[in-house]
Amino acid sequence: MSLLPISRTKRIVCRSKNVSTKVYSKKETSSSRYHDLDCHGTIVQQKNDNNNNNNNSRRRVLKEGITGLSILYSSIFSRSALASFNEPQSIAIPLLYTGSEYLICYRIDSKLFRAVLDTGSPFLMIPGSCGENTRRKSGCYEQEGVPSGLSSTFEQFDGFEGEVEWRRAPFSFYNATGSMFVSSPTIVFGVADEGILGGTGGVFFGLIKETDSWIRPSFLGQTDVTSFQIDLRTKVGSENVENNLATASPSLTLSNVPQLSSLTDYIPITRDLRRYGDPVQHYVSKVKSICINGIPLIPSDKRPIYAIFDTGVTGMVLSRELYDQRYLEARTRREKKLWGGEVEVTFETAQNKIKSIVGMKPLTTPFNPRKSWKKFQGHVIVLGLSFLNGRNLVVDIDDRRILLED
């Protein structure tokens, strides 16, 4: 549910009974169906009824892998006298990779749910139904929690509009390690109805913390988290070194203290989009340059480019002006590939160094940011998993610092 998309478009325009969540947009390329909801972490290839091998890489399922080990639950607990609120705390949660998205598992009122990890949206969401497809993808809603006291909002996702009910319930992560104390034993979450689920195909677990006051509570805004780490690097297990077999170990770590030291160089997070009317503080930085297949894409209007880091997007989303400019320039040069090669985006770090991030053949979609931010003077690109896969993303939210490691 973030600013922008990559396959089916998810566009959130909130009209409310009282209040709602404004406009973001997202397209995501995700598998259209899963087997029974599972959070044990074994990834297998899904059988394709049509034997279409071209789509097999995108159609993955999570196969249940029950072992003799006990299942560990690490909750976000209510604050107690047994532990100091100010002492460093962190919690690490495993992620499940489907081939096109990373899923996180959690419990609402002890009921297990699963959602797409999304650094481009703020809310904790669950599906508002218990149909067969929904149950297999995201979980089964059976009136978990109690009314939060907040009025419902209407959300529109690119033509798919539905109501979101805001409820409150105890919350815990599934199969996590560590713990963290918060000021309330319950968390506000959104329940999306079938009108929304029919368009997006699932729900999202948002990691944006800062929002305007009129927006419903963000998940991280209800916690003491000041920093998170999303490790999507491929690691080599010690038992597989001889055969050089890689073992994926994706994870999310939440912390109530900054994770970057004062000596660590970083990419600064800018608040420029907030000044133009963005209702949430995206994890966004100013771009130094962008090159496609080694050819610079320099905005003809000389306006700045801002990049949003978004794990809920699979490829790249680009301002319409830049998209059209790239098309015309590639056509003039008679290039064979528009976005089909290497896309390199660079940033200037706090220590005046250049940090480069490369995406290979990102599925690219245009959008118009001025529909949301009418006074916006610039360009936006949304960098999804084509750029983030295989990397370690660390965000010190309150200090506005981003670290990207290969």
pLDDT tens digits, one per residue of 111-167:
999 999 999 999 999 999 888 888 888 999 999 999 999 999 886 554 467 789 999
Angle, alpha carbons 205-62-4 (nearest 5°): 35
The average pLDDT across 258-275 equals 96
Q: Which residues of 385-395 are buried (b: 16+ CB within 10 A; e: fewer)?
A: bbbbbebebbb
The pTM of the full predicted model, rounded to 2 decimals, is: 0.81
Alpha-carbon distance of 60 to 291, in angstroms, equals 32
Residue 385: what residue type?
L
Q: What CA–CA distance (Å, rounded) separates 339 from 326?
A: 9
Question: Given a cut of 90, is residue 222 above it in pLDDT?
Answer: yes
State the virtual CA torsion across 212, 171, 65, 35 in degrees, nearest 10: -60
pLDDT tens per residue across span 20-50: 333 333 433 333 344 457 776 543 333 333 3
| Neighbour count for residue 22 (Cβ, 10 Å) | 17
Q: State the pLDDT confidence band at 196, using cuts at 50, 70 and 90.
A: confident
Q: What is the pLDDT of residues 296-339, one digit of tens each?
A: 999 999 999 999 999 999 999 999 999 999 999 999 999 888 88
Instruction: Please give the share of the chain, as a percent, with pLDDT higher than 90.
Output: 59
Residue matched to tokens 């220590």: 351
For the chain, the residue count is 406
Coil, strand, or helix at residue 1? coil
Instruction: Compute the distance between CA of residue 265 and CA of residue 127 in angstroms, rounded to an integer.
Output: 40
